């Protein structure tokens, strides 16, 4: 089935790349104009197949409604042109937390659409704005088995299409275990990632780094849109370092999955974060000034945890990649 893949975030590129490699050469890519996404597509040889690509704006900040409408209309023209290129009609759109392309390809009484399947994949319960749009455009929704419905604003209860459950985190789809350092460096080597704070739900979750968060540590900076290394190799960097301190829930989950002690500084609520804690992943969380535990205590636990990873038994990894591929091949 000829598919249009929506790559809205660097994590989405990593997640969908294994599935895109199994797709058709006539598939399309809609890519968001984010620096890290652009870098990953430009340097994706051997990881991401080369496909006809349309670049679209990120609908955030000033003029976001205008950007959203521009994006919808440009994708409609892109798919319409592809339908006339002699390689068959585009029949499926797949996106992760990005519903505009699904909404724009929904048939209307005044407009036909070749797209029969509109897939919305999400692991972020609190992304309510996107969920509400997905309710209007998606035919298929994929959420993890650890999804916390009490956080999703009634999304799943309201969805009337095909609902699929994925047993695993998104990181289980594209990550693989890496060799960890045999001993902790002196000073400890830490990957640090700060967010810009312009995401749809960042404002309610972002917690500033305490002044002493990085004291006495050797840091590799991987801040949003400022990481100088290869985004494709970031998972290797996470595994090769002694620890991670981050405001990014996505990076925190991936690092913890790889067995790297991770301190997440965020007030975010996610089912996948709770699952990691339940399964004993080396994830430490500080939720800000309203946290029941003081910053100093959490920070000390994290620093001590850098030396204890040999005692951890990692949970068995589910074959989430095969699960997701099977859903698309049904």
The answer as to whether 56 is a domain residue is: yes
- Are residue 212 and residue 277 in the same domain, yes or no? yes
State the helix-helix crossing angle for 35-42 and 10-20, rounded to 10 degrees. Answer: 30
- Are residue 129 and residue 90 in the same domain, yes or no? yes
- Are residue 228 and residue 96 in the same domain, yes or no? no
- Alpha-carbon distances of 239 from 100, 134, 263, 264, rounded to whole Å: 35, 35, 14, 16
State phi, psi for 97 to the nearest 5 degrees.
65, 15
- Are residue 22 and residue 143 in the same domain, yes or no? yes
Secondary structure of 251-294 as H, E, C letters = HHHHHHHCCCCEEEEECCCCHHHHHHHHCCCCEEEECCCCCCCC
The answer as to whether 180 is a domain residue is: no
- Are residue 131 and residue 270 in the same domain, yes or no? no
- Are residue 21 and residue 72 in the same domain, yes or no? yes
Q: How many CB atoms lie within 10 A of CB 148?
A: 17
> For each of the chain's 330 residues, which pLDDT tens digit applies?
999 999 999 999 999 999 999 999 999 999 999 999 999 999 999 999 999 999 999 998 889 999 999 999 999 999 999 999 999 999 999 999 999 999 999 998 788 899 999 999 999 999 999 999 999 999 999 999 999 999 999 999 999 999 999 999 999 999 988 878 889 999 999 999 999 876 666 678 999 999 999 999 999 999 988 888 999 999 999 999 999 999 999 999 999 999 999 999 999 999 999 999 999 999 999 999 989 999 999 999 999 999 887 656 677 899 999 999 999 988
- Are residue 251 and residue 145 in the same domain, yes or no? no
H/E stretch holding 309 reads: none
Domain that holds residue 77: 3-175+319-329
- Alpha-carbon distances of 119 from 48, 88, 216, rounded to whole Å: 20, 19, 46
How many distinct structural domains can be found in the chain?
Answer: 2
Q: How far is CA 80 from the centre of its chain?
A: 28
- Are residue 143 and residue 225 in the same domain, yes or no? no
The answer as to whether 220 is a domain residue is: yes
CA contacts within 13 A on the Cβ side of 219? 14
State phi, psi for 162 to the nearest 5 degrees.
-90, 115
């Amino acid at each position: 089935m000829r598919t249009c893949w929506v790559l809205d975030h660097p994590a989405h590129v990593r997640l969908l790349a294994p599935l895109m490699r199994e797709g058709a050469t006539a598939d399309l890519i809609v890519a968001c104009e984010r620096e890290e996404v652009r870098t990953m597509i430009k340097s994706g040889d051997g990881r991401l197949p080369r496909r006809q690509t349309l670049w679209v704006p990120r609908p955030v900040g000033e003029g976001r409604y205008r950007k959203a409408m521009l994006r919808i209309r440009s994708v409609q023209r892109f798919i319409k042109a592809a339908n006339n290129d002699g390689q068959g009609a585009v029949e499926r759109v797949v996106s992760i937390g990005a519903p505009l392309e699904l909404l724009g390809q929904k048939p209307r009484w005044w407009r036909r659409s070749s797209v029969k399947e509109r897939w919305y994949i999400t692991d972020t319960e609190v992304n309510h704005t996107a969920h509400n749009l997905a309710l209007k455009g998606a035919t298929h929704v994929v959420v993890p088995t650890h999804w916390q419905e009490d956080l999703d604003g009634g999304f799943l209860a309201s969805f009337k299409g095909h609902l699929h459950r994925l047993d695993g985190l998104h990181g289980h789809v594209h990550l693989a275990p890496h060799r960890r350092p045999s001993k902790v460096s002196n000073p400890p080597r830490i990957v640090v990632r700060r967010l810009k704070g312009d995401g749809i739900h960042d404002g309610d979750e972002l917690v500033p780094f305490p002044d002493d968060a990085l004291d006495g540590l050797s840091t590799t900076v991987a801040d949003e849109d400022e990481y100088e290394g290869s985004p494709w190799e970031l998972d290797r960097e996470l595994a090769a370092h002694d620890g991670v301190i981050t405001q990014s829930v996505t990076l925190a989950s991936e690092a913890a999955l790889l067995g790297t002690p991770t301190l997440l500084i965020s007030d975010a609520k996610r089912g996948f974060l709770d699952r990691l804690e339940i399964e004993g992943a080396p994830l430490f969380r500080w939720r800000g000034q309203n946290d029941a535990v003081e910053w100093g205590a959490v920070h000390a636990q994290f620093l001590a945890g850098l030396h204890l990873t040999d005692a951890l038994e990692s949970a068995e990894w589910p074959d989430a990649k095969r699960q997701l591929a099977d859903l698309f091949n049904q």
